[in-house]
Structure 1
Amino acid sequence: MENIKSWAFLLSFIMLFVVSYSEIGLKGKNRSIFEKKLIKNLSAKIPESLKFKASVSSMRILLEFSNELSNDEFRIVKEALSSAFGVSWFAQAWKAISYEKLAGLLLESLSQNKQFISAGSFKINTIRSDKSYHKTSVQLNYELGALVSSHFSKKVKLKSPDFVVEVIVNSKGFLYFFERHQGPGGLPVGVEGKVLCLLSGGIDSPVAAFLMMKRGCSVDYLHFYAGSSSEAENSKVFFMAEMLSRFQPSSRLFLVPYNHFYKASLGLENSQARFEVLVFKRFLLETASCLAQKKGYLGLVTGDSLGQVSSQTLDNLKSQSEGIGCFLLRPLVGYDKHEIIEIAKRIGTYSLSIEKYKDCCSIFAKSPATKSRPEFIGQIAEQINLKRIVKLTLEDLKVLEFPQNI
């Protein structure tokens, strides 16, 4: 990226970002709810010191900054926009109030753009959002293309050009920009309410949390730890939750021990050992459900993928969740392991997920059952007084807060 200070000739103009959304544009009369939520989320992610005005124009959000941004400030804004769900793409842009102003500014901008100077070909791509403007997109492409080609002696190439100039015509004039940056898409975090995700520290659960954020949910986390709470607070799970927090304005990590369950499970009969992991999963869901109802979460999120391991067969998923008093969401249920790993690598959680960590998986039976009956799992749960174990577990609850992390 060019040094922003090289754009000295534009200091009299407001620094502007155009933010495009895709799925929000499909909404009807309630579209403004989604737009306002996205603007609110962006305001939370961008430092208060970087003052800007947000507005909606032709199904795009415009962020107009009061002052020129330094390179570091530009990087901060770019990171905020690239990690904000609801953003399809964004670009640093400039505006002009008339065609004459557009032509002059565009030539000046291109004369100082190193990528354009070194490019052998270019094209103009115009979007005429304001259909009342008297020139069509094709006419504007032709006229601006001819102007730039003549001024710089460069070739217009409509297919696979070396450089693209994009122009938007709206009711207030023109916007132009040179480079789009990809956003994560989806819906703004918070429009669908808040959910509680069981975060194990493995590969799957962080990806499940990410996908629920992408669908507009605010996500908090619940982790069952082995050892001491201080170890959990400094474990990879803490850093995983911190890493995920960059995708939403704020989040919380709840920490509870599983030692109460572990002690009770020591009394299981040998014939019940193969079902221990299923009773444990029931304990996880019962504890999470109790916490979710107390805190007002609309659902629970798990990283279950159908058939991936023995505890995730259809029979066993049914047995684990029987009678759980909270709506269960399993966003990975149709994904295979390779697909989950690819997402984990893309969002940055994979390397943390594969680090060694003493977690609850250490209690799993070596040959767990692949089939089970809900009533049988329920009988074992009653035998060890699962409701009492849940109560004792939640008495040891600890909470860690994560403000926005950009």
Structure 2
Amino acid sequence: MTEPKIILTVNPGSTSTKIAVFADETRLFERKVDHSAADLAPFDTIGDQFQMRKAAIVAALKAEGFDLGTLAAVAGRGGKLPPLARGAYLVNDDMVAFLRHRPIDQHASNLGALIAHDIAEPLGIPSFIYDAVVVDEMEDIARFSGVPELTRRASCHVLNMRAMAIKVLRRDGLRLEDANVVVCHMGGGVTATVISGGRMIDVLTDEEGPFSPERAGRVPCRQLVDLCFSGDYDRKSATKLMRGVGGLVAYLGTNSALEVEARIDAGDAEAELVYRAMAYQIAKGIGELSTVVMGKVDRIVLTGAIAHSKRMADMVSARVAFIAPVEIVPGENELEALAAGTLRVLRGEETPNVFVAPPRARPAAEIRRVEEASRA
């Protein structure tokens, strides 16, 4: 009998870092390492937090009595990189340099690969990211928005969505590559995707699909333009209206689905209508994506934290069950998904991709100088 593969998974968030250790598919332990406001205050950027967060993780592992020398691999949450293919990427020097010196955005997930690499390299073991937030496999036809200057982009809860689709299908003896699955992640933001032939060929992002606890989702565009030019909002406040204080927060003053359900149970008719409207929009989004594969959907998967709500899951399922069987797999499950993907690589079931950093864009002024020189 072969020894189990011991895998450390690292998922940095804005004010905490979640870690877990797995032996093959079995979770040995999981910890949430909190980073207080005082911990974060000295750092100007997310990247500057690297050493502090890594030290906190190593300390948490030491407190568990865990021996880093037993690890076979370390997996970190994929950060804001250029668009990637699905699956695993080996964390290499190109990726480390890109995340350290050319980050696309200040996002905590950027630290996932850096921490994983820094722990793994001295041990002589590989480090990976898996299904990064920037996975983009959309078909060309899906990129049209109706305005050439506005291109639809893939942005969703890729890691959890693909992992839960794989999990559901494997339980039924099916492969993701041989099925059509619509997956909806219901959390602080709601995103959805249709997976066909293993590829996420279309996506509803959290700004063009259903409203959610904190985000407005798709809104009437002419009214949005009028609102932005009303003089009542600047760029920052208008953005916050769409992302941060939209959705349930805007209608009911809370981002807590549990609080909304308690208000419904207490007889709050407005809370019930708003909550049903959110379920209605989620179901519409699932129906919309089902048309991409001509309605030939094998499974619908509901996941994310709000999938724990039987009330919400039942309301959505009632509207979409005619399309395909609905599977409820609640939770965010990122740590499990990182471990499962890495394990498939270690077992030789998947081949990791190799990250190659794109060339640096040349400054516009330099390009103009070259063009002027060539004309002269």
Give me the TM-score of the superposition, normalised by structure 2: 0.26
Give TM-score scaled by structure 1 length.
Answer: 0.24
